[in-house]
Structure 1
C-alpha cells in the first residue's frame, strides 16, 4: 500500500467540493476594456471522407501567437487583429493531415475546412529508431529543458467549466485568464489572474447539493505534465509504470511515437494512458490518460472534500488530455481538458444522481515577458478558487470583446440561451 498522505498530494492536484448548503465564494474579477479592432471568422472543421465534425482541432495564426481550438461539434471562432488579415492559418489534429490556408479562404460565418485522414503506413518509416519505450520516456524527461520554453511568458487563455446532472447543464462557468507562465526548467509555480468571467448555476436542479469544483483554471493548468511532473511523470517513479509501444502516428505532419503507460501498483487509484512523443526531438506533444477509480472508497477519500449526511459520493471516471504547441523550436502548454463523472447515492432514495464535470482551457495568445510588473497590477487567484456566480455577463453579446474563446457546443449554447431569457424576463 502506498504511503497515503504523500499519495494524496500527488494524485489530487484538484478536488471536488460537495455541500448540502449554498456556498458563496467571494472573489474579485478584474474587468479591463479592450479597444483592439479585430475580424472574427467562424466555421467548422470536418473529416474530408465522411463530413463528420473534428473536435479539438488546433487553429494557429502563423507568424503570431494567436490560436484557438474547435469544440465537440467541430466548430470554431477565430478573432484576428485587422492588421494581420493577410496571414495564414494552420489547422492540425491527431490522425489528420495538417492544412495551411490563407485568411482570404475564411468567411465571417460558415467556413468549412476539410481535413484528410493520415493513411501512411507509419510502422515502416525508418525514422523510428527507439526500441525501448521506457528509455524513450526517460529521454523525453531528460530533454525537457531543451525542448520547452526556457523563458517566462504571459499567456492569455480561455477557460470553461460545465457541470451536468444527467443530460441537463446545471452550472456553466467561463473566463478569460492571464497566466504568468514560469520556465519549464524552473520549480516556480505558474500564477493566474482572472481577466473576465461569468458563471450561472441552477441550484434548483442540484437536489439540495451545491456541487462545486475547487481549483477553477488551475485544474486544467496542472495537466501540463512537463511542467508539473510531480503529478504523473515524476522521474523517480519511472519504474512504477509499465510501458509499451502502440502504433505510431503523425501530429502536425511530424512522425510521433505512441507509448502506452500503466502503473504497476493497483492497490489504490492508478494512472494509465498514452504519451505522444515527437520522433525527432523526443518531445511530449500530447497525452491522453485516465485515473482508474474502481476502488470507490479510496477514490472518494481522494476527490470528495465534503458531502451531505446520508449520502455516498464517489467518482466513476476521471479522464485527462493535454496538448502542446511549438513556436521557434520550443514547445509550450496549449490545451488541457479534464472530464470527471460522479455518482451521489442517497440512503432513502431509490435512484442515484449522476454528475459530469468538464473543464477545459486553451491558450489563445502569449508573449515573452521578462518583468514582474504584471504580478503587481492584478489580483492573483489561489489554486483552491471556486468560480463565482455572475449571471449578468450572458446578456452581453460582446462580452468577450477581442478575446478568442472556445465556441460553445450545442448543449452549452442552449444553456446560454436559457440564461439570457431569464435575464430578459427579470
Structure 2
C-alpha cells in the first residue's frame, strides 16, 4: 500500500470516530440524565445488595462504583418493586444513609455527601492528608487488574495497583476538586471526582475497549519503521529538561510461599533529560525499612544487588534497550500484532523474539507499545528467552554457596510510562526473577522468587536539583543491607504500593511487634 492510500485510510478512520462521537454524544448525555429515572422492576427475597446491583446493571447497562465499607455489599435485603425509577430503588435499598448518585460515562457512582472531609492524617504543622483506596477490576468478569495506573488528571501525582488490583493514594486538600483517572492496557479510562472517593474503598471496574481500525492498516505498518519513528521522537516526547520525582521502591525474596526478606523505601529521584547529557540519574533515600524472616532452617538465602540501579537502568527509552537499537534489528524477529487502547490513546503492539539461528545467547522477547499518533513508547514487557536463559546463570548469580547448584529459571520485566501535559514520564518498573536451588546429592530442591519494583508517585519539573555526593543512594549495593531498622510509622503521609495479601499475611507472622503496624496500615 502506498503512502497516499494509507493516509486515506487513517483520515477515514479519524473522520468515522468524529462522526460517531457527534451522532452518539447527545444521546449518551440524555441517557446519563435519564438512567436514574428509568423505571424497572425488581423482586428479590433475602438477597445480597451486590446481586441486586448486578441485576440493575443488567437492566440498565450501567455499572456501579461504590465504597464497600459504606454500603456493605454482602448485606441481605428483600425488595419487591414494580416499575419504579432506579433512583427510588437505590433510595429504598440504602434508606437513611444519605447517599448520593453521580453518573460518569456508563457508571453510577454511589457516595456519601460530606460538607467537610475528615483527613486521614492530621499533624501539627503539616498539611492534612486524605486517602483514596480500592480495587481495579475487569467489568466483564470481576477479575482484578494488576499494575493499573491511578493518577490525578494532568498532574504528576499517582500510583499503581498491586498484583491483586488494590491501590492506595494519599492526597492533600489541593486535590479534592480534581479528577482521578484510572487506566489500563486495552481498557477505557475511568474518571472519578476525587471528592466522591475521599476516605473510601472503591471497586472501580474498567470496560475493555476494541479499537475498530481496518486490518489492512495493521498488516502494512512495518514494525522496525515504527521503532525508528519512536526513537526519533524521544527528545520531543520525553523532554529535554530534567525532572524531580518522588518514588516508592520495594523488593522481596521468597522461598516457595515463605517471605524471607522484604525491604521498601521512599525515594527522591533526579531524572536527567532524555536528550544527550553528561548527567546521570540519581536517587536519594528519604526513608527506608526492612523485615527479615530468616530462621535456622534457611540454610540458603538470596540477596538482590543493585535493585535501585536496575530500576533506573530499565528506563529503556533513556538507556535504549538492545531490541530498540537499529544495529540489533538483525538479531530479532519483529511483527505488529494489534492496535489496542491505552487510556484515551491507541497504541501499536509490536512483538519481538530472538531469531532461531542465534543459539549461543539468551535475548529478550516480549511486546512494545507505541502510540499511533505521536510514536511515544507507552511501555515494554519482556522476558529473557527461557530456552537459553541457563546461559546467563553467571550473569545473574555473582556468589554461589558451596555445595549448592543454582539455576535461573525466568526473568521478566515490565516498564510503563505516563503521558502528562504532552510529555511522557517514567511511571512503573518491575522485575520478577525465579531461581531453583538444590543441595548437591539431594534429589529435590527449592524455588526462590525475587521481585523489585519502583512506582513514581510525584513529578516536579520546577524545583529540580542534583544531589550532593553524601546524599546519593548507593545504587549498586545490596539495598537490604543498607537498612538498619524497622519503622512502624514508615508510610506516614507518603504514597506507596499496597502490599499483596501474601505479603501482608507474612508480615503478620513475622513479628509480634507488628500489632501497631497492622492496625494502622491494613484496616
Q: State whether TM-score is above 0.5.
A: yes
- The answer (yes or no) to whether the contact 2:155–2:420 under 8 Å persists in 1 is no
Quick one: distance in 2 between partners of 1:120 and 1:243? 21
1:172 aligns with 2:265: no
- Give how far 1:209 is off: 2.1
Alignment of 1:265-304 (within 5 A): 265-295=358-388, 297-304=390-397
Q: Quote how far apart the aligned CAs of 1:74 are.
A: 1.0
Structure 2 Cα separation of the partners of residues 262 and 97 of structure 1: 29
Q: 2:314 aligns to what SS in structure 1?
A: coil
Gaps of 5+ in 2: 1-123, 517-523
* Partner of residue 404 from structure 1, selected from 475, 495, 500: 495
Partner of residue 504 from structure 2, selected from 375, 390, 413: 413
Q: Distance in 1 between matches of 2:462 and 2:249?
A: 21
Q: Which residue of 1 aligns with 2:316?
A: 225
Structure 2 CA distance for partners of 1:109 and 1:394, relative to 1, 3 Å: farther
Residue number in structure 2 paired with 1:243: 334
Matched residue of 1:156: which SS? strand
TM-score normalised by length of structure 1: 0.85
Q: CA 1:341–1:83 in structure 2 vs 1: closer, same or farther (change >3 Å)?
A: same
Structure 2 residue aligned with 1:100: 191
Partner of 1:135: 225
Distance 1:285 1:330 in 2: 11
Which of the numbers 333, 355, 362 marks the counterpart of 2:455?
A: 362
By relative contact order (CA 8 Å, sep 6+), the higher-ranking structure is: 1
Give the aligned partner of residue 263 of structure 1.
354
Query: Deviations for 1:189-209, whole angstroms, at most 9, x for unmatched residues?
Result: 211111111111222277322
Equivalent in the alignment of 2:478? 386
Say if 2:401 is the partner of 1:311.
no
Q: Which residue of 1 aligns with 2:160?
A: 69
Secondary structure of 1:170's aligned partner: strand
Alignment correspondent of 2:428: 335
Contact 1:147 1:331 in 2 (8 A): yes
- Equivalent position SS for 1:213: coil
Mapping for residues 116-127 of structure 1, pairs under 5 Å: 116-124=207-215
Aligned residues of 2:322 and 2:328 also touching (Cα < 8 A): no
Q: Secondary structure at the match of 2:405?
A: strand
1:346 aligns with 2:461: no
| SS state at 2:295 partner | helix
Two-structure CA RMSD over aligned residues (Å): 2.4
SS in 2 for 1:403: coil
> Are 1:48 and 2:139 counterparts?
yes
- For residues 450 and 352 of structure 2, the distance between their equivalents in structure 1, rounded to whole angstroms, comes to 25
The secondary structure found in structure 1 opposite 2:503 is helix
Cα deviation for residue 230 of structure 1 reads: 5.0
The answer on whether the counterparts of 2:244 and 2:464 sit within 8 Å (CA) in structure 1 is no
Offset from partner CA, 1:154-202 (integer Å, 9 cap, x none): 1111111111101111111111111110001134321111111111122
Native 8 Å contact 1:334 1:363 kept in 2: yes
Q: Distance in 2 between matches of 1:252 and 1:205?
A: 49
Distance in 1 of aligned mates of 2:455 and 2:514: 28
Partner of 1:113: 204
1:347-377 Cα offsets, whole Å, 9 max, x none, are 12221111011111110001115654x5128
Q: Helix, strand or coil for the counterpart of 2:302?
A: strand
Pair member with larger Rg = 2
Q: Which residue of 2 aligns with 1:22?
A: none
Tell me, in whole angstroms, the C-alpha distance in 1 between the residues paired with 2:440 and 2:246.
45
Label 1:206 to 1:302 Cα distance change in 2 as closer, same or farther (>3 A). farther
State the TM-score, normalizing by the size of structure 2.
Answer: 0.70
2:191 is equivalent to residue 84 of structure 1:
no
Q: Quote the offset at 1:110 in angstroms.
A: 2.1
In the alignment, structure 1 segments of 5+ residues that lack a partner are 1-32
Q: Higher helix fraction: Structure 1 or Structure 2?
A: 2
Structure 1 SS opposite 2:428: strand
| C-alpha distance in 2 between matches for 1:296 and 1:242 | 18
Query: SS of 2:231's equivalent?
Result: helix
Deviation at 1:237, TM superposition (A): 1.7
Structure 2 CA distance for aligned equivalents of residues 46 and 424 of structure 1:
30
| Alpha-carbon distance change, 377 to 385 in structure 1, aligned in 2, over 3 angstroms | closer
What secondary structure, in the 3-state scheme, does the structure 2 residue paired with 1:317 have?
strand
Residue equivalent to 2:416? 323
